[in-house]
Amino acid sequence: MAIEMNTQHRLSVCFVLITFGTYISARAKICYIHQSALNGGVAKWVTPLDPCSCTETRPGGVNIYMEDQETPDGYLDQVIFTQDTDKLKAWFGCDGVEEPTPIEIPGEITDCQDVLQHGSLESGLYIIYPGGNQPSLTVYCDMDTDGGGWIVFQRRVNGSVDFYRDWQTYRNGFGNLSGDFWLGNENLRRLTGTGSWELRVDLLAWDGSQAYTKYRAFRVVGNMFQLEVAGKEPGGGGGDSLSHHNGSKFSTLDQDNDGYSGSCALDYQGGWWYHSACILSHLNGPYQDYEQAMTGDSRGIVWFTFQRNYNSMKETQMKIRKTL
């Protein structure tokens, strides 16, 4: 099952076929990206006519522009510069970006631990049946980390997916299970509704430092997808940036459930279990490049206790494993 993508927001770029003094084949289409100030002076990126034709993105220059878009959904806050066509197609939400075919293991497979116990040792997409007779669910099983058997429910790798989404999209899940994605709050509640689960958070900073944090107990409960997390285990180097969020309800840009006087989701541009002071961690914030990430701006992918600052992470994973 591919997670449905929300295409409300699109990236803004300028589309050209020619570079200075360089021959570009018919298959190579470079998109030069520039910003335009919207109402209020906020700079956004401008959408091309056919972003799915882009094979490379580059920063726009003085003489490379296209007309601004007429609708608000023609803009986004972030951009990637790359020659990786697959990343660009995933970023723009183009057709033809497919996940590998998930593997279905014979027998009663309710989670990735069952997959592991049936002899499948390779990380990848598998079909599981949480609760036995409930509808199937396609998940990414991590079989390489800490003994394997982990269900990955969040991954940030390259910023190819926008995590500034509404309540319904976070409820259902979005992204690509082989890349950047959120498995979905309803799926998390469904999975953790039976048995006991542990949580592992893997972190990679832009300076190459790595760490992890494990919790002995993790659940998502109720209609507001409230976080229940406890039992931070020693070691790993990541520190405890999630216990402060224990008991918090999930919030998104269109549903404010935090105890803050304003809206943490609007301020920090992502869905999360915000508390009354908003964050000590926030792994669903805007993806930042190296220069942005090292400024310590808390409006990024944050796990404060790792390096005792608000520098944005380069990569993250959140994963759960059944213990009973």
- 73 CB-near residues (< 8 Å, 6+ apart): 8, 9, 10
Decide: residue 320, CB within 10 A, 0-12 exposed, 13-18 middle, 19+ buried. Answer: buried
- What are 206-225's pLDDT values in tens digits? 999 999 999 999 999 999 99
Q: Pairing mode, if any, of strands 30-33 and 56-59? A: parallel
Q: What angle do CA 103, 104, 109 make, to 5 degrees?
A: 125
Report the C-alpha gap between 191 and 170 in whole angstroms: 15
Question: What domains, with CATH codes, occur in the chain?
Answer: 14-92 (no CATH), 103-322 (3.90.215.10)
Neighbours of 10 (CB within 10 A): 20
Supply 131's token pair. 């609760």
Predicted local distance difference test score (pLDDT) of residue 160: 86
Supply 24's token pair. 């570009």
- 99 CB-near residues (< 8 Å, 6+ apart): 2, 125, 176, 177, 178
- What are 153-207's pLDDT values in tens digits? 999 999 989 999 999 999 999 999 999 999 999 999 999 999 999 999 999 999 9
pTM of the model: 0.74
Supply 277's token pair. 């002071």
Name the more confident of 64 and 219.
Answer: 219
